[in-house]
Amino acid sequence: MCGIQWLGHATRKMFYMVTPTELALDDTDTMPRILLTTGLPMFFLMIVVEWAAQQVYAVKKMKGARSTNHPTSGGPPVSPYNNRIMELLNCVGVGAAQQLFAFTFEMIGVLTDVMAYTVTYNYFRVGTIPVKDYPVACFVALMLLKDMAYYWNHRVLHEYHLLWASHSVHHSGEDYNLSTGLRQGALQHILSIPFMLPMAVMGFPPAAYGAHAQLNTMYQFWVHTELVNRMPFGLEYIVNTPMAHRMHHRPPGNCNYAGVFIIWDRLFGTYVAEEVRKDYYGLARQPKTFDPVKLNTQHYKTIAKLNKSHKKNPRLNKIFARRVPWRWQFSLTNLVKPIPSADRPDLRTEGPVRQKYKGNPNNPKPFFEPIGYGVRTFTHVSIILACTYLLFNGRGLHRGDATGAGLLGLILLSCIGRMWDNNPGEVEKAFALATTLLPGMVGFLAVQPVDRFYTEAGM
Q: Can you give the pLDDT at residue 76?
A: 47
8 A C-beta contact, residue 252 and residue 260: no
- Domain check: are 338 and 382 in the same one? no
Residue 148 has what DSSP assignment?
H
Q: Can you give the pLDDT at residue 217?
A: 95
Q: What is the mean pLDDT of residues 370-377?
A: 71
Q: Can you give the pLDDT at residue 52?
A: 86
- Domain check: are 273 and 205 in the same one? yes
What is the rounded distance in angstroms from the CA atom of residue 275 to the CA atom of residue 272?
Answer: 9
What is the rounded distance in angstroms from the CA atom of residue 49 to the CA atom of residue 46?
Answer: 5
Q: If DSSP codes are grouped into helix, strand and coil, which group holds residue 160?
A: strand
Q: Answer yes or no: is pLDDT of 330 > 50.
A: yes
Q: Can you give the pLDDT at residue 224?
A: 95
- Domain check: are 124 and 206 in the same one? yes
Q: Can you give the pLDDT at residue 366?
A: 54
Least confident of 94-98, 147-151, 325-329: 325-329
**Amino acid present at 441:** M
Q: Can you give the pLDDT at residue 149?
A: 96
Q: What is the mean pLDDT of residues 353-363?
A: 84
The answer to the question of residue 296 being in a domain is yes
- What's the structural domain count of the chain? 2
CA 291, 297, 299 angle in degrees (round to 5)?
A: 115
**Amino acid present at 179:** S
Q: What does pTM read for this prediction?
A: 0.89
Q: Can you give the pLDDT at residue 365?
A: 62
Query: Which among 156, 141, 124 is positioned nearest to 212, based on CA atoms?
Result: 141
The answer to the question of residue 132 being in a domain is yes
Q: Can you give the pLDDT at residue 233?
A: 86
The answer to the question of residue 95 being in a domain is no
DSSP string, 319-375: HT-BSS-------GGGGGSPPPPS-S-BGGGG--SSPPP---SSSPPSS-TTHHHHH
Q: Answer yes or no: is pLDDT of 437 > 50.
A: yes
- Domain check: are 195 and 320 in the same one? yes
Whether omega for the bond prior to residue 198 falls within 30 degrees of 0, making it cis, is no
Least confident of 123-132, 224-233, 447-456: 447-456
% of the chain with per-residue pLDDT over 70: 88
Q: Answer yes or no: is pLDDT of 393 > 70.
A: yes
Residue 261 has what DSSP assignment?
B
- How would residue 57 be classed by pLDDT, with cut points 50, 70 and 90? confident
- How would residue 124 be classed by pLDDT, with cut points 50, 70 and 90? very high
Q: Answer yes or no: is pLDDT of 66 > 60.
A: no
- Domain check: are 297 and 394 in the same one? no
What is the rounded distance in angstroms from the CA atom of residue 269 to the CA atom of residue 151?
Answer: 12
Q: Can you give the pLDDT at residue 35?
A: 87
Q: Answer yes or no: is pLDDT of 311 > 70.
A: no
- Domain check: are 306 and 410 in the same one? no
- Domain check: are 393 and 336 in the same one? no
Residue 35 has what DSSP assignment?
I
Q: Answer yes or no: is pLDDT of 93 > 80.
A: yes
Q: Answer yes or no: is pLDDT of 19 > 80.
A: yes
- Domain check: are 436 and 301 in the same one? no
Structural domain ending residue among the three candidates 350, 385, 411:
350
Query: Which among 85, 120, 104 is positioned nearest to 209, based on CA atoms?
Result: 120
Say if residue 325 is exposed, middle or buried (CB neighbours under 10 Å; 0-12, 13-18, 19+): exposed
Q: Can you give the pLDDT at residue 308?
A: 57
What is the rounded distance in angstroms from the CA atom of residue 259 to the CA atom of residue 262?
Answer: 7
- Domain check: are 313 and 406 in the same one? no
Biggest CA pair distance of the chain: 78
* 152 half-sphere exposure, CB direction, 13 A CA radius: 11
Q: Can you give the pLDDT at residue 307?
A: 63
What is the rounded distance in angstroms from the CA atom of residue 298 to the CA atom of residue 160?
Answer: 15
How many C-beta atoms surround the C-beta of residue 178 within 10 A? 25
State the average pLDDT for the chain: 86
- How would residue 268 be classed by pLDDT, with cut points 50, 70 and 90? very high
- How would residue 69 be classed by pLDDT, with cut points 50, 70 and 90? very low
What is the rounded distance in angstroms from the CA atom of residue 212 to the CA atom of residue 145?
Answer: 10
The answer to the question of residue 357 being in a domain is no
Q: Answer yes or no: is pLDDT of 309 > 80.
A: no
Query: Which among 151, 223, 211, 146 is positioned nearest to 181, based on CA atoms?
Result: 223
How many C-beta atoms surround the C-beta of residue 240 within 10 A? 26
Least confident of 1-15, 175-189, 305-319: 305-319
Nearest-Å Rg of the Cα atoms of the chain is 23
Helices 427-446 and 371-393 meet at what angle, rounded to 10?
40
Which residues are CB-neighbours of 369 under 8 A, at least 6 positions away? none
- How would residue 314 be classed by pLDDT, with cut points 50, 70 and 90? low
What is the rounded distance in angstroms from the CA atom of residue 243 to the CA atom of residue 107?
Answer: 39
8 A C-beta contact, residue 222 and residue 14: yes
Q: Can you give the pLDDT at residue 313?
A: 56
- Domain check: are 37 and 152 in the same one? yes
Q: Can you give the pLDDT at residue 75?
A: 45
From first CA to last CA, the distance across the chain in angstroms is: 48
Q: What is the mean pLDDT of residues 396-402?
A: 88
CA 307, 313, 317 angle in degrees (round to 5)?
A: 45
Between 361 and 29, residue with greater pLDDT: 29
Residue 222 has what DSSP assignment?
T
Highest mean pLDDT among 44-48, 55-59, 351-355: 44-48
Structural domain ending residue among the three candidates 350, 380, 409:
350
- Domain check: are 442 and 322 in the same one? no
Q: What is the mean pLDDT of residues 391-404?
A: 87
What is the rounded distance in angstroms from the CA atom of residue 221 to the CA atom of residue 109?
Answer: 29
What is the rounded distance in angstroms from the CA atom of residue 162 to the CA atom of residue 234?
Answer: 37
- Domain check: are 180 and 237 in the same one? yes
Q: Answer yes or no: is pLDDT of 158 > 90.
A: yes
8 A C-beta contact, residue 230 and residue 183: no
Q: Answer yes or no: is pLDDT of 73 > 80.
A: no
The answer to the question of residue 143 being in a domain is yes
The answer to the question of residue 10 being in a domain is yes
The answer to the question of residue 322 being in a domain is yes
Task: Domain of residue 118: give its range.
Answer: 2-66+111-350
The answer to the question of residue 98 being in a domain is no
Q: Answer yes or no: is pLDDT of 126 > 80.
A: yes
- How would residue 71 be classed by pLDDT, with cut points 50, 70 and 90? very low
- How would residue 59 be classed by pLDDT, with cut points 50, 70 and 90? low
